Amino acid sequence: MAFDAYDVVVVPFPFTDRSASKRRPALVLSDRDAFNEAVGQSVLAMITSRNNAPWPLDMPIADLSTAGLPAPSKVRMKLFTLDHRLILRKAGRLGPEDERNVRATLARLLGFAISPT
């Protein structure tokens, strides 16, 4: 199964010692047609509800219900690629305002200029 950009998915995040993992939400960033379907993987960003040790560019999610998130959360620009076979399920999708904010934050992270849409 391929996923669309801005889908919120649930993935297993390993503990540092890799002895076990926890289920955590993540945000699909890569495009279904350009990447996800072709390679069976997606580029994702971490989603966290923790407030300790914030990262630069943490982006609060405004529309939690559409995203399928039970608690106030933010997209953290900690990026990784994951095989679709390891994605446990789709939880939701970012709302339009949150999509725009992530696009702008990602562009800032990578040093790209974007025009407002």
Does position 115 have pLDDT exceeding 70, yes or no? no
Whether 115 is in a domain gets the answer: no
**CATH number reported for the structural domain that contains residue 12 in this entry:** 2.30.30.110
Report yes or no on 20 lying in a domain. Answer: yes
**What's the domain count of the chain?**
1
Does 39 fall in a domain? yes
Say if CB 94 and CB 62 are below 8 A apart: no
In the chain, count H helices and then E strands.
3, 6
Q: What is the pTM of this model?
A: 0.90
In terms of DSSP bridges, do strands 21-28 and 41-48 run parallel, antiparallel, or are they unpaired? antiparallel
**Residue 117 in domain:** no
| pLDDT tens-place string over residues 6-45 | 999 999 986 556 666 789 999 999 999 999 999 999 999 9
Q: Is residue 16 part of a domain?
A: yes
What pLDDT score does 2 carry?
86
